[in-house]
Chain A
Amino acid sequence: MPKLTIDGMEVEVEAGTSVLQACEQLGIEVPRFCYHERLSVAANCRMCLVEMERSPKPIASCSMPCADGMVIRTNTEQAQKARKGVMELILINHPLDCPICDQGGECDLQDQAVAYGYDRSRYAEEKRSVQDKDFGPLINAEMTRCIHCTRCVRFCDEIAGVAVLGAVGRGTHTEISTYVERAITSELSGNLADVCPVGALTSKPYRFKARPWELRKTETVDVLDAVGSNIRVDARGGEVLRVLPRLNEDVNEEWISDKTRFACDGLKRQRLDRPYVRRNGKLEPVSWDEALDAVVARLQGLDGARIAGLAGDLVDAEAMIALKDLLLSLGSPHLDCRQDGARYDVSERVGYLFNTTIAGIEQADVIVLVGTNPRLEAPLVNARIRKRYREGGLKVGVIGPSVELGYVYEHLGSDAGVLAAIAEGSHPLAATLKAASRPMIILGAGALVREDGPAVQAVAREIAARYDLVRDGWNGFNVLHLAAARVGALDLGFLPQVGGRDTRGILDGAKAGDIEVVYLLGADEIDASRLGNAFVIYQGHHGDRGAHRADVVLPGAAYTEKNGTYVNTEGRVQQARMAVFPAGEAREDWKILRALSERLGRRLPYDNLGQIRDRLVAVNPLFATKGDVQAAPWRPFGVSGALLEEPFQPAVDNFYMTDPISRASLTMAKCTDAFVPSREGKTGTHG
């Protein structure tokens, strides 16, 4: 461990630490543009120059490894002069367009020019200008502002796994470009706007919308996939203007997917901002009293066995427990949260969680993906797998459709038969799994949404048992969910009760007339035509499939508009916070159910958020944990059965439209046009 002196302070650092990192450990700020802790070191901006004793020139601290006895000075005249010189050179070709630049106010170049640069320019020649590029509907490129730090090039190469950007040309003619005109086809491309230290790459949908100091920032979590990315919602007035990632090493590091980032314009469109009741075949706007009365009138005196409830993909745990409590008090056993129709054994928590955890992927040495395309289903899980892949020594096998994932994998087959062969030990992968020290299997929705879902789950468990996927401090059995609400719902037991019907049963019952009232709590991914003549109550925030079929619409709150609890696919309990108020007359979802229960004469016993959260904890103590993962004990689960011969189908065809919010988003529609090859067939998590 080298020991060095920085600004008179001695510090001992890990071997391989750069001088810049050592400075950071001491809390010394070193300006930089090209250095980014999650990307490879390029050392081309030269902004991080510091003085090193016995070196004739200042050194680039980002690329200089610490050595024993080094004496570094960051605050000398030489270092300061070097920075000023570099800053002056960088600014030579940088336009003075801060007043019209979206990065203004949150720009590294702006800040560092003030902190480390000269207060005036000596450059009187012509500045260069660069033709702007079209990088697609998400990223706005204003390449004259580029300072060629190549962070974007390295991000595309290393994190996103799509080598499309490069530094083309040379010298003063260098341009960051795709060379051939094309959009950046990555589900993580929005992060380019974050890694760019200047205003060259910015968010296209957010362009000219606001200045950072005008925005109200709310730290919350994302619900558009089951990863539960930590985000910051920036709003002005009642409008969500943008979504940015928040650092959480265990979940999303500092990245978010494009859907998470850019679907927020969907929060303004297609909103249910007042209650509706269907009269003469048409939904008519009504008051809350009339809407609730219409529900009460239909439910009063109805046998509980004729009522059913379905919870959607974006629903918070508070709303689900309220609906569950209400339905049970009405005597209905028919409730399900798996609107995709998935049937898997949920008796054990370990059987439906991503047990390895997302950060745990970094320790894996063999990963078997079954019926899942993590690139579309959970881009950040895929980014983790790629991160692990880049370290070397990772073997990935795929059972299911052969797709581009951004890393090399072995395609083992397309159907469940391969799984059975592995479980029997007759498959070539058996030896690999046996030799692995940290093996993982990931079951995706494509594998579990079928008739033989429970059998697939059981075979996977067999594999887990046979190859010791679960060992000391390691659980390699994983289910990758698609819906943010799913694990929370399963933890709360929002499932068919004794004698109850599951999603398919409910839909069949509605069609046959056995189920007379269906309560859709944000459930939009069902086939509404199968609801028959049932009286449909839709509670949710978007006028999507559910609301179109509804007889009564109760406007609820979207995830940015309520304080809700969500459990991600790892079983991590996280809380979303209210960034803006619900649209129009809409209300937080559990409050709607609480009000309805009162009118039905079955008052739910919670009056505020604290009480309903106590109720959550009472139902499942796991809800008392916040932010971290409780390992689920490894117990038997699964129902063995016959495996279907047909190949696994992709669960997500169009990454950009999987839920009511992203379907309402114009940006996501543009992405669909630009990136999704075929628009035919089903979209999203359509079961």
Chain B
Amino acid sequence: MSRHRADEDLESVLRHCADDDERERLRRLWGRLGALASPAPPPDLAARFSAALHDARANARHRRSTGWRLAAALAAGLLLGIVGTRQLAPITDGPSGSAALELQLREARHALALAALPGATATSRLTAVTALTPAAARDARSRSALAALAAADRDLNVRMLAAQGLGPHLDDPELLATLTGMLDADGEPLMNIVLLDVFVERSATTALPAIERLADQASDDPLVSEKARWAARTLRQRRNRT
């Protein structure tokens, strides 16, 4: 379907099913979506992304400089953004246009979030994280993007929010291993507190060895050690109960 036709369909649906504010918001979103470039992905895209993610995770086991954190997040975000923008479905015709449009706008918002990840400002990446979090339940790309941000973003708030967004998906052993690795690697006390909360909330008993290591370390802040001991005790009790 042509872009022009899609614009007309969007206008038609909006006239019938949205109030002024919603109409204006969707029109702006649609305009931004139309402005996105969609270059053809290189043939080795998947291999390069896997390698970048692998490197980011491997490096996460060591203390890192903010430079590579940003570089890894940008590389992963850029590749994911390209994939995301290319996988947008065309807008649908037919009588159920309203529901379909809503679905596609959700997809559009999701694609925009992926495309925004290399954004220079922390607040644009925060916005992307909040858009990716609800999508992570059904979309592996969102989970990968959140994992890359949690491990590598230079902004602590972005890392913390991304880690929280991954909390509900800790039944994925790879994600659990990634977050557990961060407990060893991320030196920020507040990030440790967020991760401990995620592990306790999800009863992630396999994270116990990393939590116990943290509890034994002399932390910059006594609350972290105290909280790690509490988290270890809580998880041990839950494991023994089961």
Decide whether A and B are members of one complex.
Answer: no
